[in-house]
Structure 1
């Protein structure tokens, strides 16, 4: 996919982004350890269907915003997603979120529903039901990297040494996927950058440290963790080695009426890279006719 590089100017931050196509906007938010270009195969199909795809870099994960992660909590990223949506269309936009991006879209649907037209989340259950998954000891083991990242000194050493942990996460999360050499190098370059290593650890440490949360967003905290106010399409890969598919079985408890939960076969965590045809078909059907 040939993306152009743009900047989305918002009242919170100017967000560098990859963009392609013309038509109604779909904003795609990436996760960790990932890059907006992972949306390339899905974007190609959405563009062919008459959509404009905009895939911003998360705050703190582009050279122009690397120093802008004072408060790395989940609400910061969700508020960013709402701000980008408002800047692109005050009436709300369609959004897709993967991994960290899934939590962003889920929280926008709960706390800033006016910013969202239709939303899709991938690879992570809704915030309102994620706690149940985290209470499973087997799932805790799969999330070992989260605990590792909270051990100061050790985490920095592991990530600075080489990219083997990044490769391991991709390989175990999507066991049937072999990224292209070009994309693997793109991921290595991003997560070999000292600034992005530091910001990755900030994000995971904020999960367990409220002092790292933005006090200006405290009033949105309870709302953002509640069931979404808008229906969402929640997608999971049947072979996901990060958060396994059984943890999506109760996902509808944290969703608004009219939501859907879909499991994509022959796909793992990076389902939009592994099965872009099926994911695009489901996404476009969910979005329906753009206004």
Structure 2
């Protein structure tokens, strides 16, 4: 227990530094449904994958709902994929939203346009990908929703480009942090939860993850959502996204960067400097948390003051773990709709 609220808030922000955490010029391109053999293997409940060139990426994504509807962009985490929103997307589309669910860099059919682009997964790069994606599709504003890496990315976009965000739904709330904050050790019990981060800090860990991606992901799913009884078909459908040729490089870089063990790109230095100040998020926000989240996450009272606009916190009960949109889709859908109307 902490003696003061300030110490609690400081500890939680340090924990955020370890959580699964210059704007790129977008190149507008006509989005097209793909017919590639790789995309055919990546069957989705949403329909065929679409592709758009955005920044340094050829982004694979799914789209549902009316083309002229208000836009919702849903961001997945690690080691998950777009299927976390397989029930959320159609429900939002049925309510008139244009729903876009992109594969992040290093996942599914999303690819780098150049072999020379650094396989960089620092937080500012992932957030800049979202802005480039919006620019490529001509989207000025959207409701953002995410969990795990996706929640952090949605938080960052909301903090740095609030004019692009109509509202935010963030699982586990405020996940912005910095390399500097990550330098302070956590209590041993908290450090234990991050075993895989330290594993990835070694070349043995890189090789081990590369050789056992699906088994690794299954273990994370089980520990992060201990009461979620997902079946083999559900898991394997998402695990295929980890076969992306850049998956290992992206995952390892993300966790090494957080610990200051890997360099980022200088183009993102100004953005990371802003993030290191823990900027407030002023867009309307609903923070969600599952009552059985087995992944490290900050307490709600530690980050509430970081949201300076209209804000609500909801604890979702019923044994709901880390992958909240897939485990409790109705609660996530309601949060998106309600946040849009805050």
TM-score normalised by length of structure 2: 0.76
- Alignment check: 8 A CA contact 2:64 2:100 kept: yes
Q: Report the CA distance between 1:17 and its aligned residue.
A: 0.7
Match of 1:80 in 2: 129
Point out the structure with the larger helix share. 1
Q: Distance in 2 between matches of 1:280 and 1:161?
A: 33
3-state secondary structure, aligned to 1:197:
helix
- Which residue number corresponds to residue 237 of structure 1? 290
* Gap runs ≥5 in structure 2: 1-44
From the superposition, tell whether residues 45 and 63 of structure 1 become closer, same or farther in structure 2 (CA, over 3 Å).
closer
Contact 2:225 2:293 (C-alpha < 8 Å) held by counterparts? yes
Aligned pair 1:286/2:335, yes or no? no
Distance 1:260 1:135, change over 3 A: farther
Identify unmatched segments of 5+ residues in structure 1.
none
Which residue number corresponds to residue 3 of structure 1? 47
How many Å apart are 1:249 and its aligned residue?
Answer: 2.5
Q: 1:80 to 1:167 in 2, by over 3 A?
A: same
CA deviation string 1:69-97 (max 9, x = no partner): 53221110011112223333453111112
Q: More deviation in 94-103 or 129-138?
A: 129-138
Q: Which residue of 1 aligns with 2:155?
A: 106
Aligned equivalents of 2:185, 2:91: Cα separation in 1:
34
Identify the residue that residue 97 of structure 2 maps to in structure 1: 51
Which structure 2 residues correspond to residues 57-206 of structure 1 after superposition, within 5 A?
57-65=103-111, 67=115, 68-123=117-172, 125-127=174-176, 135-161=186-212, 163-192=214-243, 195-206=246-257
Post-superposition offset of 1:49? 1.1
Number of residue pairs aligned between Structure 1 and Structure 2: 288
User: CA separation in 2, counterparts of 1:193 and 1:65?
Assistant: 8
Larger relative contact order, structure 1 or 2 (CA cutoff 8 Å, min sep 6): 2
Partner of 2:203, secondary structure, is coil
TM-score w.r.t. structure 1 length?
0.88
Deviates more, 1:125-134 or 1:42-51: 125-134
Aligned to 1:271: 324
Report deviation, 1:198. Answer: 3.0
Deviation at 1:123, TM superposition (A): 3.7
Determine if the alignment matches structure 1 residue 259 to structure 2 residue 303.
no
Aligned: 1:24 with 2:70: yes
Deviates more, 1:87-96 or 1:124-133: 124-133
Task: Provide the rounded CA distance (Å) in 2 between the counterparts of 1:180 and 1:138.
Answer: 30
Q: CA deviation at 1:196?
A: 1.6
Q: 1: distance between equivalents of 2:102 and 2:248?
A: 19
Give a deviation string over 1:124-162, Cα, whole Å, max 9, x none: 633159969983443322222112111222342244146
- RMSD over aligned CA atoms reads 2.7
Following the alignment from structure 1 to structure 2, what is the Cα–Cα distance between the partners of residues 207 and 237?
25
Change (3 A) 1:84 1:63: closer
Correspondence 1:213 to 2:264:
yes
Correspondence for 2:80: 34
Conserved in 2, the CA contact under 8 Å of 1:25 and 1:93?
yes
Greater Rg by CA: 2
Counterpart selection for 2:280 from 227, 248, 253: 227
Report the alpha carbon displacement of residue 104 of structure 1 after superposing the two structures with TM: 0.6
Do 1:128 and 1:226's aligned partners in 2 also have CA atoms closer than 8 Å?
A: no
How has the CA–CA distance of structure 1 residues 93 and 87 changed in structure 2, closer, same or farther, with 3 Å as cutoff? farther
CA deviations over 1:178-230 (Å, ceiling 9, x no partner): 22432211233333555422322122112223752121121112323422242
